[in-house]
Structure 1
């Protein structure tokens, strides 16, 4: 069995990049959680889904890089990549993701307001008219009740 140092070195570098990608995905997930504010049960489900995706990515990494052979340096390199990302890049990328999310949500909010505004005004107009109709019906039955008492007394 021949040892291919260059292939192992490339696998090490790719594993570091995958580790950094996992760290970036984690920051994206943190920002998503900050904006979505999930319930406790939904939080558990999201965490499970997150870790399933991470395991899938890492499994694909092992299959592509080492042919499915568990190599210690691949795990170490991925851990180095994650730690490098978390210590040096996480604050910048998290801030960037946060501002992008906020910008997208503000933009969507404005679009929804522009689309919904005519409907809000028409719904408000319709509600006012329906209130007047119910008020007239209530007054009508109140008056009918008065006359019913008067008619029933004469007998």
Structure 2
């Protein structure tokens, strides 16, 4: 096989891996959105930043690997990599990784919530006591 064909196959593989990298980074964003709830505006800003970053990344890969020449099969390879990843493991990874992170957050925050609940009860009792004392003091001063 000629060196040119080997280089084209290598470039095609790099483009497939680029597509996988681009969509997997979006999965990181999807996991983050499942862990931390977002509004519509925040999602729009995140998507804009993601797509600008992704376009720079794809351009960088094409520039480094193919001297900046955008070729149809390179775009097709990137889309192919995105489709392969999205159809095979994307949904499973997003579902289970976000579930594990949410469980970890629940485990870590449970003692903090318990402490805050106890502190809140103590502060409420202190507030009531101070309020009663101030009310008695006002009545006595009249």
Normalising by structure 2, we get a TM-score of 0.81
Equivalent residue, structure 1, for 2:110: 113
Distance change (3 Å), C-alpha of 1:84 and 1:110: closer
Distance change (3 Å), C-alpha of 1:142 and 1:113: same
Structure 2, unaligned stretches of length 5 or more? none
Distance change (3 Å), C-alpha of 1:129 and 1:69: same
Q: How many residues align?
A: 141
Please list every run of at least 4 consecutive aligned residues from structure 1 whose deviation after the TM superposition is greater than 4 angstroms: none
**Cα deviation, residue 143, structure 1:** 4.2
Aligned-residue CA RMSD in angstroms?
2.4
For residues 27-71 of structure 1, give each alpha carbon's deviation from its aligned partner in whole angstroms, at most 9, with x where no partner exists. Answer: 332333334332222121111111012112201211221122222
SS at match of 2:70: coil
Structure 1, unaligned stretches of length 5 or more? 146-155
Distance change (3 Å), C-alpha of 1:33 and 1:136: same
Tell me, yes or no, if structure 1 residue 55 matches structure 2 residue 52.
no
Matches of 1:85 and 1:133 in 2, distance apart? Answer: 62
Equivalent residue, structure 1, for 2:92: 95
Matches of 1:109 and 1:34 in 2, distance apart? Answer: 14
Matches of 1:31 and 1:97 in 2, distance apart? Answer: 6
Normalising by structure 1, we get a TM-score of 0.76
Pick from 125, 128, 142: which aligns with 2:139?
Answer: 142
- Asked whether the equivalents of residues 15 and 74 of structure 2 are also in contact (C-alpha less than 8 Å), the reply is yes
Q: Which has the larger radius of gyration?
A: 1
